Structure 1
Amino acid sequence: MYPVYTPIGKEVKCEERPVLFPPQHQHRQPGFESIMVPRPIAENPHYAAAGKLRGKTAIITGGDSGIGRAVAYAFAKEGANVTIVYLDEHEDALETQRRVRDIGAGCLLAPGDVRSSAFAEEVVQRTLQTFGGVDILVNNAAYQPFQPTIATLSDEQLETTFRTNMFAYVYFARAAVPFMKRGSAIINTASIVAYAGNKDLLDYTATKGANVAFTRSLALQLVDAGIRVNAVAPGPVWTPLTVATFPAERMKEFGLQTPMKRAAQPYEIAPAYVYLASDDSSYVTGQTIHVNGGMAAGS
């Protein structure tokens, strides 16, 4: 039995219970948060902001839902304006934008395909024009196909996975770095699978390993410029990408493999990004923070 925040109307109630999700599957990635049952929880009602990102601007890929949405809300509460990059989940993106603005921060929506280097450059330029700078980049958008055998892993899928999960990280970093100042931060979303592996997510797992290596190498390259580069490696998290990846029946046991016997809610991952984006982590670069319910490499 573990403490879990669950939505009760507009309030959030803390209960102790094992978490079992109802069977469900979405047939298109990255998925729609608005139709999930239950909806992911993007905000902790007890979060105490301290102005750690006041006056800064962040670009968050995959920021319309899931972990990206939770990060956008936390950044906004800490005083940052945000650019939300997403594919075409307009309803989710508009909901995120409304909440960010309600919090009191600026929010620019940037729909498009992160696999395009030209799109990455466009997003950075729009952010500069709207907010006057780029201080934080969160590479978070992902493609995660369920593929239980290498025999049916197509060239097309392999390329799509790497272009979304790895090439895009390079594209956005390359576009943003020339405009970043000392004290800026890049945060890449890795995964527990980079360390533990996952037999049903072969190509996705390979990209997450690449994310970790890219983080360490780019951190070394940018350290003299005063730009820190780190990563967050979540364990199982209740997001649209989850239900757009696995067969419906797998949802009933999603997250139970962790020592905490449950998946995370997105709001539980967001504080790690706040830490890495703020001056609290001024002596941290090239590192990966593991937020995974107690999972270990090889588990």
Structure 2
Amino acid sequence: SDSCTLRSLRSDFGAFSLTSKMTSAAAPFTVADQRGRKVQESDISSITSADSKRVSLLGNRICPFAHRAWITLHELNAQDDVEYLHADIGPTKPDWFTQYLSPYGTVPVMWDQGKIVPESLVVMKYIFEKFAPNSGFYGGTPYEKSRVDLMLGKLDVGPIYGFLMNRDPAEEESKKQALKTMLEGIEKIYEESSPIGPYLLGEHLSAGDVALVPFFARFIPVIKHYHHYDMLDASLPRLSSMWEHAQKRPAFHATAVDAQTFIEAYGMYYERGLKGVKSPIARFFSSPKGAGLSFVVGGAAVACAFLLSRRA
């Protein structure tokens, strides 16, 4: 899925409250500055009605997938045409949100005059088609479009989460290598597409860049904090350049959350990884050699049980 699952995030983030971490948390976020107010139950009818004239983007500031759509709004100058609404994904998330506003159980989700558009990459494309179809956001030439498609198809964020959540020293290097291999593959796509850059298609930022930026914004500081590892080292010059330039863009500043907030929120992913750490004995029995011994031990146990039952 290219979205944050509300059910899993509810347990992952536990009691973490983004609102309590933001400036002026006691006051509603204003629509004018696009920080987004919290969605209310009273919004349901006007958002989902077939007669609705509203266009709304429902997201969450912690979720990198939702951030993709939020940045896209600003990059394509559609922020004044779409109301951004923040949805809680912690324990305070109301049941009515999943029941009526996000039946897929994910964010981001967009509603356009009563019609639902889920999934981050789908929402990004929808914003492009509706508000800026001639912007070149997905490339201007057939080749450029193919590079964006390739980038979106090859981007696999699984190794990021896998490395972050790992607490098993025996798997640290393999998880790190999986992350590095993924980033090296993306680096190669950037080099082939535009050797100079700074973006995937050269001087102009595209959907391929926006799909990646929210993950850098979160996991560069988070992984460095918990694993003392720099995701973007000297071996990834194109990605490093893209990230450096992307951070300076107005759209990034308009949608940014401070690194410390991400460190605290995703620390719960890191702590959750501790529950999955195997003991040395468990690691042995899950290895090829241990699996064979496990079969022998299991067979011996069955044989002993059979003999004891015969004696009884």
TM range (shorter): 0.3 to 0.5
TM-score normalised by length of structure 2: 0.35
Q: Which has the higher contact order (CA 8 A, sep 6+)?
A: 1
TM-score normalised by length of structure 1: 0.36
Greater strand percent: which structure?
1
Greater helix percent: which structure?
2
